[in-house]
Amino acid sequence: MKKILIKAYAQMNLGDDLFIKMLCERYKETEFYLYATPEYENLKGIDTENLNILYNDTFAKKILFRLGRKFGIPNILEDLKARELDGVVNIGGSIFIENDFSEEDFKVRERNLDFGKNYFILGANFGPYKNEGFRDMYHEFFKSCKDVCFRERYSYELFEDLENVRYGNDIVFSLKMEPNEVENYVLFSIVLPSGRPGFTGIESEYFNRLKTLTLDIIKSGKKVKFMSFCQGERDEEAISKLLNMIPNEQHKHITKYLYRGDINEALDIINKAESVVATRFHAMILGFIFKKPVFPITYSKKMTNVLEDLDFKGNFASLDNLKNLNYEKYKENLALSDEVLMKASKDGEKHFLKLDEFLSI
């Protein structure tokens, strides 16, 4: 039985937790190890028992972690674990962004590669980045990886000269779930724009347009459900702000769902929706695969790149151009065709191609 270190965004974010679930359930005969915060004791919905959560919360581990950072080793605990195991799987979406933490993130990955040897990257997009030096640094890093599979053509084309770099549609497109019986509500996934670089100035317009759309949907005879994907990224704060803008007499038509680690429960909430208004990336993807009409509100190129890869013909808005965020545009959108979804599902499977070979399934 092979043993693998998972590197993921372990912050109780539904999209990233779903990556972990799909990885563990696909490779049931593999032992996985993940460093996470103690909140991950509440993670539910992984239908196997092969995930080992490692916490940095003991006194000895905290001392070791601080000593490592003092001597320029950002995560010595991961180094030591990677040495014991057969490989590292870095699975996630926006994990290669140039920001204040880029240098430290790179050092951690570089050391994981040195210790783990077999390093796989699944499901990522590259950027945004400003300096070619950032791309060049990762060009050399990717060259030494066992496999790199991006989730969009744009990222792939930045590194297409490397033989071990590939791309497919987002991993979640390969999720196997049957559509549920639809209930009479429209699901909204909401974010707090001021929590994202560059979008502070549009927050008022964003919430005002969501308020108007909510009231128009209620007027049409449907209920509305506001959904948080990640408490730590202030989705719940965004929901509270929007609710406070809506007249109290309309609250009886609105419910909310706050994701706190029950993956299957959250999937069921999306699955039962009649349609989805999606600011969250994976609200958009999950809405698509559950065959819902989806109205995307894009906040980065990673969303518009996916829409382009799917040849999406529907209406959408973006945080830097919200004029389409209205009821007339929303109600025109249709579910993706079975043909498009089938192709996207097969394409999403590509991410696991080399890992399947390595783990012998």
Q: What distance, in Å, lies between the first and last C-alpha atoms of the chain?
A: 12
Does residue 130 sit in the same domain as residue 62?
yes
Residue 361 belongs to some domain of the structure: no
What is the predicted pLDDT for the residue at 56?
Answer: 63
Token pair listed for 143: 């060259």
What is the predicted pLDDT for the residue at 68?
Answer: 55
Residue 351 belongs to some domain of the structure: no
What is the predicted pLDDT for the residue at 158?
Answer: 97
How many residues in total does the chain contain? 361
* pLDDT beneath 70: ranges in the chain: 56-75, 116, 361
Does residue 138 sit in the same domain as residue 201?
no
What is the predicted pLDDT for the residue at 221?
Answer: 97
Residue 324 belongs to some domain of the structure: yes
Q: Give 77's contacts (C-beta < 8 A, 6+ positions apart).
A: 35, 54, 56, 61, 64, 65, 68
Residue 179 belongs to some domain of the structure: no
Token pair listed for 230: 């990640």
Does residue 189 sit in the same domain as residue 161?
no
Residue 113 belongs to some domain of the structure: yes
Rama region for 205: left / alpha / beta (φ>0; ψ in -120 to 50; rest): alpha
Does residue 133 sit in the same domain as residue 191?
no
Residue type, 274: E
Token pair listed for 316: 């959408």
Residue 162 belongs to some domain of the structure: yes
Rama region for 127: left / alpha / beta (φ>0; ψ in -120 to 50; rest): left
Does residue 116 sit in the same domain as residue 234?
no
What is the predicted pLDDT for the residue at 196?
Answer: 77
What is the predicted pLDDT for the residue at 32?
Answer: 97
What is the predicted pLDDT for the residue at 199?
Answer: 76
**Structural domains of the chain, count:** 2
Place of tokens 């992984």: 46
What is the predicted pLDDT for the residue at 195?
Answer: 79
What is the predicted pLDDT for the residue at 209?
Answer: 98
Token pair listed for 276: 């989805």
Token pair listed for 271: 């699955």
Token pair listed for 172: 């979640």
Does residue 191 sit in the same domain as residue 158?
no
Helix (H) or strand (E) holding 224: strand 223-228
Does residue 116 sit in the same domain as residue 229?
no
**Sign (positive/negative) of CA torsion 96, 43, 33, 67?**
positive
Does residue 251 sit in the same domain as residue 282?
yes
Range of the domain at 33: 3-167
Which of 118, 117, 109, 115 shows the shortest CA–CA distance to 137?
A: 109
